[in-house]
Amino acid sequence: MLQLTNVRLFNRALPTFEHSFAPGRIHVVLGTNQAGKTNLCRLIAGLPCSASGDITFDGTPLPAPRARRGTAAMVYQAFVNYPNLTVAQNIASPLRAQKLSTAQAEARVANLAATLHIDDLLDRLPHELSGGQQQRVAIARALAKRARVLLLDEPLVNLDFKLREALQRELRALLEDQATTVIYTSTDTRDAFSLADELLLLQDGTKLQSGALEDVYAKPQSSAAMALLSDAPLNVLERDGSKHFIRPEHVYLRPPTAPQISFDMFVRNYVTNGNTTYIQGEVENHTWVMRHPGVWSGSDNSNVKVSVDTQDLRRF
Amino acid sequence: MASIELKDISFCYPGSATPVIEALDLEVERGEAHALLGASGSGKTTLLSLLSGLLRPTGGAIVFDGNEVTDLSPRERHVAQVFQFPVLYERMSVIENITFAIREQSAQIDARVQHIVEALGLGKISALRPGQLSLYQKQICAVAKALANPEVSLILLDEPLTSVEPAAKARLREVLTAAQNEFATTMIYVTHDQTEALTFAQRVSVITEQGILQTAPPDEIYNQPAHEYVGYFVGSPGMNFVTREGERVGFRPEWCHLHATSGIAVEVTTCRFEGTRAGRAHGLVELSSASGPLFYRGPIDAVKTGTQTRLGIDRGLRYRDARMVGVL
């Protein structure tokens, strides 16, 4: 168990927080830019940064930053590889410290390269590779280290959509069976749903909420936490002098059923990506977005009847 | 009349034996929002440079509003470009940046600029310098600059949302779509991101090394992919393909159901929660089958990892030689 206490992610007057990362789980740290995600990674990795805090691993304090390198391995947003080393040499570079025989090292490199589908590129130099291939090399190198903590700081952000989708799935399959504590930072809600066992939500250097993905989704503790786990803005409904929040996927065009509230929405515009239609409009002087499955054949500047289930309303 | 026509366009980089683009045809209507969607290496950036005039085609003709512009320079084509990272003059205010390239002065132009500033919500920041703006604001400013110039006949957008963070992306997309609707400017948007392409454009062209595989409205691209690659490339994850009675059948993860009485024998590999609908957990399920991995998306309250079941196809499309030939 990786335990952080007295954490301050920026060098300014912020409340400190604590957090535990369980081993063998994939932790997605979700937050907008400047939330402190990179500082959190650098703090754990022992790299220079403006964050501070106490870190223990299984109860033992981590050594001073300089000696921490063996505990944590980090993959950055930009593809960082040794430019003058081949792919094989790059992956093997952390193995030198592990005193493996040449045969053992070669076997480890071959195995990792095969898993990440870069086994036909072992003799190439980084500049001869595409961005996606370079990032696979960086990930393979981090895995070769067999560190107890693997830090992935927005590792897929610069990649093509389809490649990102494939790597996400591969990463999950690869990391699932390991005892490694995986910490993956992102600004993208989709990463939380496709990768996370556990979530840590950050905002402006503070911890908003943490827990299992399903729990954080079902029981948000603040509107900020609820909004961070939504790909479209939250909807606001004012009733009895208080604000209720509702997710875009919990607004329905269907006729009323169980305990529900229905009202008119004035449609301003809508966009579809084929499998989902985002319908934007006005409800009682608030801008609303509804996430409707499939294609919607309505029109702009028209009124539609929408409904919400009372169980989906959240008040903070 | 088509506003932009590419006729039998080919392009080959000097010294290279293989053309990047070969015999490509494309028509974009006047006032249309068109997206070129493709992976890296598909030739979409080359096509963009051919449209802007930075590159000249090695064969074929480019026609804007009935006039051939194949040999005209970028300036002579009156094309404005919005890049991934906005290009603005740091020493000028937002409003000065927007009006800088406008040569003609009139009350009509002033009214147009005023209207654009209001429509894009730039009123409050028009006196600020680019250094004081967020990337999102800068990008809107770059779009306003392109819209404001009445001489501009085409706006090319090169991955304009890529560097903007997800929360601001949705807002910027709304502003872009609203501006396009209001000013009816012809826009061509180049991206690798299907969400951006499908939600922005009235028509999407899916481009690969083999050329344009399909040009159609977003829902048609998604629901009736003309080519297997379009089915795979659009959708996340893409279309499932299985072979049935010697024929390829494609179906989307949400076009099928689990625990069918008959259907494809599958085993549940992974199950990912994606939210709730009407009180039920929904998600994405990866299945292993004789045809390789398949995906199902929908309610997951009765799904258990490691169990064997059958997958029933509710809607499917038939493909022959990778081309769609009909409905199942």
Mean pLDDT by runs of 10 across the 316 residues of chain A is: 94 92 94 92 90 90 72 82 92 85 90 88 90 87 88 86 85 81 92 94 96 96 96 90 95 76 89 85 93 86 91 93
pLDDT tens figures, B100-119:
888 777 888 888 889 889 88
| CA–CA distances in Å: residue B100 to residues B128, B134, B146, B155 | 15, 21, 11, 17
Type of residue found at A186: S
Q: Using a CB–CB cutoff of 8 Å, tell me whether B233 touches chain A.
A: yes
DSSP assignment letter at A85: S
Type of residue found at A208: L
A193 and B178 within 8 Å at the Cβ level: the answer is no
pLDDT tens figures, B46-72:
899 999 999 999 999 999 999 999 999
Q: Using a CB–CB cutoff of 8 Å, tell me whether B219 touches chain A.
A: yes
A272 and B219 within 8 Å at the Cβ level: the answer is yes
A-chain residues near B234 (CB < 8 A) = 274
Instruction: Tell me which residue of B165, B180, B168, B185 sits closest to B120, measured CA to CA.
Output: B180
- A161 CA to chain B: closest CA distance, Å? 5
Q: Using a CB–CB cutoff of 8 Å, tell me whether B256 touches chain A.
A: no
Instruction: Tell me which residue of B140, B155, B150 sits closest to B112, measured CA to CA.
Output: B150
pLDDT tens figures, A261-273:
888 999 988 888 7
B-chain residues near A270 (CB < 8 A) = none
pLDDT of residue A69: 65
pLDDT-derived band at B127, boundaries 50, 70, 90: very high
B-chain residues near A250 (CB < 8 A) = 276-277
Return all residues near B302 (Cβ < 8 A) that are at least 6 apart: B258, B259
Give the best residue of B162, B169, B174, B220 to mutate against chain A (max A CB count within 10 A): B174
B-chain residues near A231 (CB < 8 A) = 166, 170
DSSP 3-state helix, strand, coil percentages of chain A (rounded to 5)?
30, 35, 35
A-chain residues near B223 (CB < 8 A) = 274, 295
**3 state DSSP class of A311:** helix
Residue A315 CB neighbours (<10 A): 11
Average pLDDT, chain B: 90
d(CA A218, CA A190) in angstroms, rounded, equals 16
d(CA B186, CA B176) in angstroms, rounded, equals 12
pLDDT tens figures, B231-251:
999 998 999 999 988 899 999
B-chain residues near A252 (CB < 8 A) = 278
pLDDT tens figures, B178-204:
888 888 889 999 999 898 899 889 999
d(CA B122, CA B174) in angstroms, rounded, equals 14
Q: Using a CB–CB cutoff of 8 Å, tell me whether B138 touches chain A.
A: no
A293 and B39 within 8 Å at the Cβ level: the answer is no
Tokens 């515009």 -> residue? A269
A273 and B274 within 8 Å at the Cβ level: the answer is no
Give the best residue of B175, B180, B276, B282 to mutate against chain A (max A CB count within 10 A): B276
d(CA B297, CA A236) in angstroms, rounded, equals 28
Half-sphere exposure of B71 (CA within 13 A, CB side): 0
> What is the pairing mode between strands A149-153 and A72-75?
parallel
A295 and B223 within 8 Å at the Cβ level: the answer is yes
A187 and B193 within 8 Å at the Cβ level: the answer is no
Given a cut of 80, is residue B169 above it in pLDDT?
no
Give the best residue of B159, B176, B221, B236 to mutate against chain A (max A CB count within 10 A): B236
pLDDT-derived band at B15, boundaries 50, 70, 90: confident
The pair of structure tokens assigned to A89 is: 């040499």
Given a cut of 70, is residue B2 above it in pLDDT?
no
Question: Which residue of A273, A309, A311 is in closest CB contact with B194?
Answer: A273
Residue of A nearest to B232 (CA): A162
Given a cut of 90, is residue B29 above it in pLDDT?
yes
Type of residue found at B187: M
B-chain residues near A188 (CB < 8 A) = 166
pLDDT of residue A86: 94
pLDDT of residue B1: 47
CA dihedral A54, A174, A95, A29 (to 10 degrees): -20
The pair of structure tokens assigned to A12 is: 């300014």
B-chain residues near A33 (CB < 8 A) = 165
